Amino acid sequence: MKFWQKICLFSILTFVVIFNIASIMVIERNHNQMLQQEIGNALSENMSIHSSVNGVIPILNVYDSIDYEKTVLTNIATGFVNKNQEENVYIQITEGSRIVYSNTNFSMPQSRKELIRLTADEIRYILRDIGKRTMLFTSNLAPINGKYYVFTYIKDVTPLYDERMNQYSFFFKVDAGAVILYALVMFLISKGLTKPIDRMIRMAKVIAQGRFSERVKLKSRDEIGMLGANFNEMAEVVEEKINELERNNNEKERFIQNITHELKTPLTSIIGYANFLRMTKVGEETLLDGLNVIYSEAKRLEHLSFKLMDLILLRQGHTELRTVNMKNVIREAEASLQMKAADKHLRLITRCVDGEVRMDPDLIKVLIHNLVDNAMKALTEAGMITLQSQAGQGCYTLEVIDHGIGIPEEHLANLFEPFYMVDKARTKSQHGAGLGLSICQSIAEVHGARLEVESQPGEGTTVRVMFPLQYKGGGERE
> Would you state the pLDDT for residue 473?
44
Answer yes or no: are the C-beta atoms of 193 and 225 closer than 8 Å. no
Chain mean position to CA 380: 63
pLDDT at 37: 94
Residue 398's φ and ψ, nearest 5 degrees, are -110, 130
Alpha-carbon distance of 461 to 292, in angstroms, equals 35
pTM value > 0.85:
no
What pLDDT, on the 0 to 100 scale, is given for residue 284?
Answer: 81
- For residue 313, what pLDDT is reported? 64
**Model pLDDT, residue 385:** 92
Name residues whose C-beta falls within 8 Å of residue 138's C-beta, 6 or more positions apart in sequence: 42, 43, 45, 46, 123, 124, 125, 152, 153, 154, 155
Q: What is the pLDDT of residue 429?
A: 46
Class in CATH terms, 319-472: alpha beta
404, 375 Cβ separation under 8 angstroms = yes
- What is the CA angle 261-266-269, rounded to 5? 125
Per-residue pLDDT at 426 = 45
Backbone angles phi, psi at 356, to 5 degrees: -85, 120
Confidence at residue 341, expressed as pLDDT on a 0 to 100 scale: 86
What is the C-alpha end-to-end distance of the chain, expressed in Å?
81
Choose which CATH entry (1.10.287.3240, 3.30.450.20, 2.160.20.60, 3.30.70.260) describes domain 3-164.
3.30.450.20
Q: What is the pLDDT of residue 431?
A: 46
**Per-position b or e across 319-356, b if 16+ CB within 10 A of its CB:** eeeeebbbbebbeebbeebeeebeeeebebebebbbbb
Partners of residue 358 on adjacent β-strands: 323
Half-sphere exposure in the Cβ direction for 119 (13 Å, CA): 2
Sign of CA dihedral 296, 297, 299, 303: positive
Listed by start position, the domains of the chain span 3-164, 319-472
Average pLDDT per block of 10 residues along the chain, 478 residues long: 83 91 93 94 89 84 80 87 78 89 89 88 91 92 88 92 93 92 89 79 80 76 77 82 81 67 72 84 82 81 69 64 90 85 88 89 84 85 88 90 86 73 49 66 85 88 88 42
Instruction: Identify each DSSP E strand in 345-394 by its residue range.
Output: 347-351, 355-359, 384-392
